[in-house]
Amino acid sequence: MTTNLRSGSLDAGVSASAGPRVGVLALQGDFREHAHVLATLGAEVSLVRRPEELDAVDGLVIPGGESSVMDKLARTFGLQAPLKAAIAAGLPVYGTCAGLIMLADTVLDAIAGQESLGGLDVVVRRNAFGSQNQSFETDLDIPALGEVPVHAVFIRGPVVESVGAAATPLATLADGRVVAVEQGNLLGTSFHPEITGEHRFHEYFLAKVRERASVSS
């Protein structure tokens, strides 16, 4: 059953005004943090665990967590094929950390049998920055989001090893490694803006959702 966050089940303090319908994949990971940010920004947010719940949204966020577990649960819940079909049909999707791995066409250092959903013409490497205790924070210049740097938190994050012709880098570290990309309605970041109070990536994503919803209506 879809959980409507606007009703106050997870965030009683958010206003109930209508907004774009955005789902957060709630199989594993920090989906509640994303749901809170999206609701704060005026979206009508629901948690997605089943195919029929995916059908009811105009955009989807795939949160950070453990990509191999998300992959296994997506198959268990019958979501893998519907997710791939929705991505191919143009559903706006934003993936953070594990979500970026799920959206990548190619994943390096995946565990045996792990699959991604694909859609982003990139090659990503899992756990590129080491273990949990090697997490770090840094400021990134991201022209697409304005002049003010984005404060980014990396927690066992992936890195984009290569970007194909269809995708566009949005942010790089000082050493040139790509940590944010977009491709049409798809957006991916190696880091976690949902836990730092940095809402510009979610706002950027919601603009994609609104644009597609207006074209589809």
Q: Residues 97, 157: contact at Cβ < 8 Å?
A: yes
Minimal CA–CA distance to 121: which of 101, 105, 103? 105
- Please check whether residue 38 lies inside any domain of the structure: yes
Per cent of the chain over pLDDT 70 is 89
Confidence category of residue 28, pLDDT binned at 50, 70, 90:
very high
- Please check whether residue 137 lies inside any domain of the structure: yes
Average pLDDT, the chain: 90
Confidence category of residue 127, pLDDT binned at 50, 70, 90:
confident
Is 97 tagged catalytic?
yes
Which residues fall in the annotated binding site for L-glutamine? Answer: 65-67, 126, 155-156
pLDDT value of position 215: 82
From 34, 44, 53, 97, the catalytic residue: 97
Written as one letter, the residue type at 196 is T
Confidence category of residue 136, pLDDT binned at 50, 70, 90:
confident
- Please check whether residue 104 lies inside any domain of the structure: yes
Q: Is the pLDDT of residue 133 over 70?
A: no
- Please check whether residue 217 lies inside any domain of the structure: no
- Please check whether residue 186 lies inside any domain of the structure: yes
Count of domains in the chain? 1
Is 182 tagged catalytic?
no
Residue 62, SS3 per DSSP: strand
Query: Which range of residues forms the domain containing residue 116?
Result: 5-212
Residue 190: give its domain's CATH number: 3.40.50.880
